[in-house]
Amino acid sequence: MAHASTEDPISIQLEEPVPGTTLLRVDGEVDMLTSPSLRRAIADQLTSGRLLIDLDGVEFLGTSGLAALVEAREQALSHEVELWLICSSRQVLRPLEIAGLVELFRITDSATQILDAAK
């Protein structure tokens, strides 16, 4: 599932690396124009036991992108889905820190450890 063409500022790709775990790879800019695509992609995947959102390809994370992530957290809690953010870049971590949201999320810099434990 790719939500991007060459003109789109966002690309969202879906993988299932292990049964019960969905991985959304997000690349590009998450802003007011693209956050609805991210919201839809996340909402569609809140059926598995674990959802990993890989944000390492995100070049810009605006306030509407932060809001989409907070909404994803609330939806994951209500659906009893384990939600992880994968990010190591300043472009993503800094906005999360400034908004005081880091403590709300499970954040890791690599999916490997989570996926190895799920096997």
| pLDDT (tens digit per residue) in 28-86 | 999 999 999 999 999 999 887 999 999 999 999 999 999 999 999 999 999 999 999 99
Q: Is the dihedral of CA 28, 39, 64, 85 positive or negative?
A: negative
The CATH class, in words, for 10-113 is: alpha beta
Q: For the chain, which residues make up each domain, given as ranges?
A: 10-113
User: What is the pTM (predicted TM-score) of this model?
Assistant: 0.90
Q: Are strands 82-86 and 50-61 parallel, antiparallel or unpaired?
A: parallel
Q: Tens digits of per-residue pLDDT, 9-29? A: 999 999 999 999 999 999 999
